Chains A and B, each alone.
Chain A
Amino acid sequence: AQKVTQAQTEISVVEKEDVTLDCVYETRDTTYYLFWYKQPPSGELVFLIRRNSFDEQNEISGRYSWNFQKSTSSFNFTITASQVVDSAVYFCALSEADQAGTALIFGKGTTLSVSS
Chain B
Amino acid sequence: KAGVTQTPRYLIKTRGQQVTLSCSPISGHRSVSWYQQTPGQGLQFLFEYFSETQRNKGNFPGRFSGRQFSNSRSEMNVSTLELGDSALYLCASRPGAGVNTEAFFGQGTRLTVV
Contact = CB atoms under 8 A, between A and B. Distances in A.
| A pairs with B | yes
A104 interface: yes
Contact of B105 (A45, A52, A95, A102): A45
A104 B100 CA distance: 11
Given A42-B107, A44-B108, A100-B55, A52 B100 contact: yes
A104 B42 contact: no
A97 B99 CA distance: 6
A97 B31 CA distance: 16
A42 B3 CA distance: 14
Nearest to A46: B105
Given A43-B88, A102-B31, A102-B97, A50 B42 contact: no
Given A33-B99, A45-B90, A97-B99, A104 B105 contact: no
Contact of A107 (B42, B48, B55, B110): B42
Nearest to A106: B43
A92 to B, nearest CB: 11
B104 interface: yes
Nearest to B46: A103
A62 interface: no
A109 B39 CA distance: 10
Interface in A65-116: 91, 93, 95-97, 99-109
The 10 closest A-B pairs by CB, nearest first: A101-B56, A106-B43, A101-B55, A45-B105, A103-B45, A102-B99, A44-B107, A101-B48, A43-B108, A108-B42
25 contacts: A43-B107, A43-B108, A43-B110, A44-B90, A45-B90, A45-B103, A47-B102, A52-B100, A91-B43, A93-B43, A97-B99, A99-B56, A101-B48, A101-B99, A102-B33, A102-B101, A103-B33, A103-B45, A103-B56, A104-B33, A104-B43, A104-B103, A108-B42, A109-B42, A109-B43
Given A45-B92, A97-B100, A102-B97, 19 more contacts: A35-B102, A37-B105, A42-B107, A43-B110, A44-B3, A45-B90, A47-B102, A47-B104, A96-B99, A100-B56, A101-B48, A101-B50, A101-B99, A102-B33, A103-B58, A104-B43, A106-B42, A106-B44, A108-B42
